[in-house]
């Protein structure tokens, strides 16, 4: 039976997705399943790694069944994953020693302060392209090795394996045969030298991390291994593409050239600009990261990370309970003519780029008696656009490239109000592809290229049927709104709780 499809596994922060693509790069179907978020104490966020695996394999099998596709019809599997989220498991039992510590988790802020006091800020920026922050995997791994009983002993015995979620899914898919990651995910650990493409010995020593726990680092497009017997019947499907979700979205948006940029509106909000074959070290608080590695060729990117984006809309639904579902936020925002002077700063987990303030907290500012829940919904959506402008301005300075348009994807890119406001506040064209799940598409392309299912020179750089949003706002209004946002951020940064 001829292999005619690519299976893409898109393991996100709040849900696991599976998408099937055909030879014409068209999505044929998608399945999605949410999983539990754990908040043991304020600022801590955890996932059950076993539940992540169960939801991921369940949606994959459900999708194959729904589309009546047999395992032997799958040419390859690609994996895109929530980045930085840290899992440590016992190689002998195959079980995690603790819940996964999620990228949003802030428990290691004090460890980050310790690293700064040791004078490692410049070294880490030059070596890894990152800033010292609890966002990344290194301090999470350090915490697990120090705080979980017997973890250090098991690590010294060579029994423990560390990985970001891609490594965990790969391990499970291969029945424990392969412990590996790709260069894009490795570059998000704060332990990887993005110039030499190797784990950094000095940082491992500083954090007392045994090298034996680390995965092998392979190209983003290439053979990682095969599915084990019993996963998809007894058929061995090659796993041939892996990338962190944001780098995967950059590839899926076909941002192949230096200066191409995309913004993904997911749980967080992430803007990446392809900077080509040479890493650009930001002077503005942005991150330098590996976009992907294909063969021996590495592409780098500048990145700005907004911690809370779609999660803020979820907060409107689950926390404030002023909307019933995310999709209705567009109509609610359009039902009022403006934000009534209200600004929402969704710094629930601190502020990311360009502020990098671990201690900032969320705030609603500008409240008057005329403000309703509708204005708060609108202001929450607007906050995503403001944060994107924060990043784009700095990205243009660092890269010395002026954007002509921004490619948008992720769930919130379907929100017409948000996309128009984004275009207005940037004064740039925003391009939304017809299929918003660019993350899954990128993983499929990387996997397909590796096995010859897709040819790089045949991939069109423009998605047919994309929707364009062009700026309509007067410049005076644009700058007035943005000035109000900057004042609101300053207020949120001033907050210090009694125990901090």
- How confident is the model over 15-43, as a mean pLDDT? 94
In 3-state terms, what secondary structure has residue 493? helix
How confident is residue 289, by pLDDT bands cut at 50, 70 and 90? very high
Share the mean pLDDT of the chain.
Answer: 92
d(CA 444, CA 454): 9
Q: What is the pLDDT of residues 118-127, one digit of tens each?
A: 999 999 999 9
Q: How confident is the model at residue 258 (pLDDT cuts 50, 70, 90)?
A: confident
Residue 260, pLDDT above cutoff 50: yes
- Helical residues (DSSP H) of 43-177, grouped into ranges: 49-67, 109-117, 121-128, 137-147, 151-156, 165-173
Question: In the CATH hierarchy, which fold is given to the domain comprising 5-246?
Answer: Nucleotidyltransferase; domain 5 (3.30.420)
Residue 142: partners with Cβ closer than 8 Å, 6 or more residues away:
108, 111, 207, 208, 209
Residue range 210-226, pLDDT digits in tens: 999 999 999 999 999 99
What is the bridge-based pairing of β-strands 261-265 and 238-244? unpaired
pLDDT of residue 422: 96
The pLDDT assigned to 490 comes to: 92
For residue 69, the model assigns a pLDDT of 95
Q: Cα(68)–Cα(212) distance, rounded to whole angstroms?
A: 42
Q: Which regions of the chain carry the CATH code 3.30.420.40?
A: 5-246, 261-432+470-500
Residue 268 has pLDDT above 90, yes or no: no
The pLDDT of residue 48 is above 60: yes
What one-character DSSP code corresponds to residue 99?
Answer: P
The model's pLDDT over 330-361, given as tens digits with 9 standing for 90+, comes to: 999 999 999 999 999 999 878 877 787 878 88
Give all strands (DSSP E) within 171-267, no chain letters.
Answer: 180-182, 192-193, 198-199, 216-218, 221-226, 238-244, 261-265
> What's the pLDDT at 2?
80
pLDDT at 222: 97
19: which strand partners? 8, 30
Cα separations (Å) of 1 from 5, 7, 25, 69, 479? 12, 16, 20, 11, 60
- Torsion angle of alpha carbons 411, 417, 423, 427, nearest 10°? -150
Please give the Cα distance from 14 to 385 (Å, whole number).
21
pLDDT at 500 > cutoff 50: no
Dist. CA 351–CA 308, nearest whole Å: 9
> Which pLDDT band holds residue 496 (cuts at 50, 70, 90)?
low
Residue of 463 and 272 predicted with greater confidence: 272
If one compares 254 and 481, the residue with the highest pLDDT of the two is 481
* HSE (side-chain half, CA atoms, 13 Å) at 241: 33
Give 261-432+470-500's CATH code, choosing from 3.40.50.920, 1.20.120.1760, 3.40.50.2300, 3.30.420.40.
3.30.420.40
Within 10 Å of residue 400's Cβ, how many Cβ atoms? Answer: 8
Mean local confidence (pLDDT), 285-302:
93
Chain segment 147-186, per-residue pLDDT in tens: 999 898 899 899 999 999 999 999 999 999 999 999 999 9
Structure confidence at residue 1 as a pLDDT band (50, 70, 90): low
**What H or E segment, with its residue span, contains residue 160?**
strand 160-164
Q: Return the higher-pLDDT residue of 404 and 197.
A: 197
pLDDT band at 461 (very low <50, low <70, confident <90, very high): low
């Amino acid at each position: 039976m001829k292999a005619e499809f690519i299976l893409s596994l898109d393991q996100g922060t709040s849900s696991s997705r599976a998408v099937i693509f055909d030879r014409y790069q068209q999505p044929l179907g998608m399945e999605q399943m949410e999983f539990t978020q754990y908040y043991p104490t304020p600022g801590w966020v955890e996932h059950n790694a076993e539940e992540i695996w169960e939801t991921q394999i369940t949606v994959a099998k459900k999708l194959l069944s729904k589309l009546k596709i047999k395992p032997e019809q799958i040419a390859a599997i690609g994996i895109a994953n929530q980045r930085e989220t840290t899992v440590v498991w016992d190689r002998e039992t195959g079980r995690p020693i603790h819940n996964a510590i999620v990228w949003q988790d802030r428990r290691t802020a004090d460890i980050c302060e310790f690293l700064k006091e040791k004078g490692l800020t410049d070294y880490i920026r030059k070596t890894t392209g990152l800033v010292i922050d609890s966002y990344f995997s290194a301090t999470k791994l350090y915490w697990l090795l120090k705080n979980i009983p017997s973890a250090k002993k098991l690590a010294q015995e060579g029994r423990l394996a560390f990985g970001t979620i891609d490594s965990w899914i790969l391990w499970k898919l291969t029945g424990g045969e392969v412990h590996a990651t790709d260069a894009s995910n490795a570059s998000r650990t704060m332990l990887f030298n993005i110039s030499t493409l190797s784990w950094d010995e000095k940082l491992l020593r500083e954090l007392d991390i045994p090298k034996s726990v680390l995965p092998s680092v392979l190209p983003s497009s290439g053979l990682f291994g095969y599915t084990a017997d019993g996963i998809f019947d007894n058929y061995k499907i090659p796993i041939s593409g892996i990338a962190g979700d944001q780098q995967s979205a950059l590839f899926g948006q076909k941002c192949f050239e230096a200066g191409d940029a995309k913004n993904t509106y997911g749980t967080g909000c992430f803007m990446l600009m392809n900077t080509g074959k040479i890493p650009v070290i930001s002077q503005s608080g942005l991150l330098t990261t590996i976009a992907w590695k294909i063969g021996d060729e590495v592409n780098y990117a500048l990145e700005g990370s907004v911690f809370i984006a779609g999660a803020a809309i979820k907060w409107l639904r689950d926390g404030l309970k002023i909307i019933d579902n995310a999709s209705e936020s567009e109509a609610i925002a359009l039902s009022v003519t403006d934000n009534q002077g209200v600004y929402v700063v969704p710094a629930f987990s601190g502020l990311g780029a360009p502020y990098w303030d671990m201690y900032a907290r969320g705030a609603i500012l500008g409240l008057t008696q005329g403000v309703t829940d509708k204005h708060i919904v609108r202001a929450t959506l607007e906050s995503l656009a403001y944060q994107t402008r924060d990043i784009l301005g700095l990205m243009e300075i660092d890269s010395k490239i002026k954007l002509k348009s921004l490619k948008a994807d992720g769930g919130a890119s379907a929100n017409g109000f948000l996309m128009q406001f984004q275009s207005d506040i940037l004064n740039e064209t925003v391009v939304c592809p017809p299929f918003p799940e660019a993350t899954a598409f990128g993983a499929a392309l990387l996997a397909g290229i590796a096995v010859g299912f897709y040819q790089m020179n045949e991939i069109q750089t423009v998605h047919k049927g994309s929707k364009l949003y062009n700026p309509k706002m007067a410049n005076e209004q644009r700058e007035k709104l943005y000035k109000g946002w900057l004042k609101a951020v300053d207020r949120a940064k001033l907050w210090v709780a009694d125990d901090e």
